[in-house]
């Protein structure tokens, strides 16, 4: 059996189309577009690409996206001051600070300062707490994207065994909460988990969010399982003398070709979870804007 490939690019396009429509209605009703401010500190090349893509994707659906690119030596005080201004600006509906931050800046202080109502990343402890309590709030984008991909496979999660590999605040913990809310039986595994392959083999739904290239092998996957690969890892390719040969490629946390032979459905890398993250950010921005104006 070969798995169904869950096409994140296509699904993201349909989410964006819905957001575009919602934004048009918002503009007609309120006379302004929802505003998203993305803040990047430093010159990390991957973060530069991500944040530029976030700004571009916003503009494409009619959101007033703005990227603040600050130098790596920006002081913590200056960043907090900018966030204070964005918090106070009524035309700003969503604020996103790209992580990781330079070492001299406290991530906790920064995330805590963003108003929960504008926290489109869903990283503020108030939003994390609301999610853990099963109450409405802004939910992190990547986990939301994963849930949409699972739903697109037609799977009902009730009673299924889900294993989440990775316990980050950005992906592992929030996706575990979302799976639990859909009545799955959820285990969060991590680097200290004993006999991880055996645990993964019990999973009807396997979420890989560890950031280690192709760590999860094909024989860790239960026959027919749904595999959601959150990893985006750049790896070197073997030397090739062709002048235009690529030197690196992107791979997930799952050994895709091996896993595909056993899974019922699987997300590719690239083109799986990645495009869904940005689509869900746009959706969160529209949700935040609508919720703020409904108050």
Name beta bridge partners: 266: 5, 227
Nearer to ligand GUN, 38 or 61 (CB): 38
118 is a catalytic site residue? no
The answer to whether the CB of 37 falls within 8 A of the CB of 95 is yes
Q: Which two tokens stand for residue 78?
A: 């200056």
The answer to whether the CB of 138 falls within 8 A of the CB of 144 is no
Active-site position among 98, 173, 253, 260 = 98
- Stretch of 94-102, 130-138, 209-217, 223-231 lying at the interface with ligand GUN (CB under 6 A): 94-102
* Shortest Å, Cβ 142 to ligand GUN: 5
54 is a catalytic site residue? yes
Q: Which two tokens stand for residue 14?
A: 């349909």
Work out whether the CA dihedral 131, 137, 140, 142 comes out positive or negative.
positive
Q: Single out the residue of 33, 36, 79, 96 in contact with ligand GUN (rule: CB under 6 A).
A: 96
Distance (Å, whole) CA 250 – CA 266: 16
Q: Which of 176, 171, 172 is nearest to 161 (CA)?
A: 176
Residue 170 binds ligand GUN, judged by CB under 6 A? yes
121 is a catalytic site residue? yes
Q: Residue 50 to residues 3, 107, 140, 233: CA-CA distances in angstroms? A: 29, 18, 16, 14
Residue 83 binds ligand GUN, judged by CB under 6 A? no
Q: Single out the residue of 99, 199, 261, 291 in contact with ligand GUN (rule: CB under 6 A).
A: 99
Number of residues that bind ligand GUN (CB under 6 A): 8
Distance (Å, whole) CA 94 – CA 16: 17
Active-site position among 121, 204, 229, 253 = 121
- What track of x and - describes contact with ligand GUN for positions 121 through 140 (by CB under 6 A)? x-------------------
Q: Single out the residue of 74, 142, 177, 285 in contact with ligand GUN (rule: CB under 6 A).
A: 142
Binding site for ligand GUN (CB under 6 A): 96-99, 121, 141-142, 170
Which are the catalytic amino acids?
Answer: 54, 98, 121
């Amino acid at each position: 059996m070969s798995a169904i490939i869950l096409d994140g690019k296509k699904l993201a396009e349909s989410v964006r189309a819905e957001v575009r429509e919602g934004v048009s209605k918002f503009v007609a009703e309120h006379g302004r577009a929802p505003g998203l401010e993305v803040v990047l500190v430093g010159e990390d090349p991957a973060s530069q690409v991500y944040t530029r893509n976030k700004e571009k994707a916003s503009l494409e659906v009619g959101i007033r996206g703005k990227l603040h690119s600050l130098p790596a030596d920006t002081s913590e005080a200056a960043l907090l001051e900018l966030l204070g201004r964005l918090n106070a600006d009524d035309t700003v509906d969503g604020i996103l600070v790209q992580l990781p931050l330079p070492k001299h800046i406290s991530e906790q202080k920064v995330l805590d300062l963003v108003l929960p109502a504008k926290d489109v990343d869903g990283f503020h402890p108030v939003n994390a707490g609301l999610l853990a309590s099963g109450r409405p709030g802004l939910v992190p984008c990547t986990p939301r994207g994963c849930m949409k991909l699972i739903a697109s496979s037609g799977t009902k999660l009730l009673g299924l065994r889900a294993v989440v590999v990775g316990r980050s605040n950005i992906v592992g913990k929030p996706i575990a909460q979302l799976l639990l809310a859909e009545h799955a039986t959820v285990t969060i595994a991590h680097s200290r988990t004993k006999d991880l392959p055996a645990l993964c083999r019990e999973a009807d739904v396997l979420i890989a969010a560890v950031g280690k290239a192709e760590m999860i092998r094909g024989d860790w996957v239960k026959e027919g399982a749904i595999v959601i690969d959150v990893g985006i890892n750049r790896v070197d390719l073997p030397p090739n003398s062709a002048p235009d040969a690529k030197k690196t490629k992107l791979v997930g946390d799952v050994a895709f070709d091996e896993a595909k032979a056993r899974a019922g459905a699987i997300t590719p890398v690239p083109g799986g979870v990645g495009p869904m993250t940005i689509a869900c950010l746009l959706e969160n921005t529209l949700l935040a804007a609508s919720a703020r104006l409904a108050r």
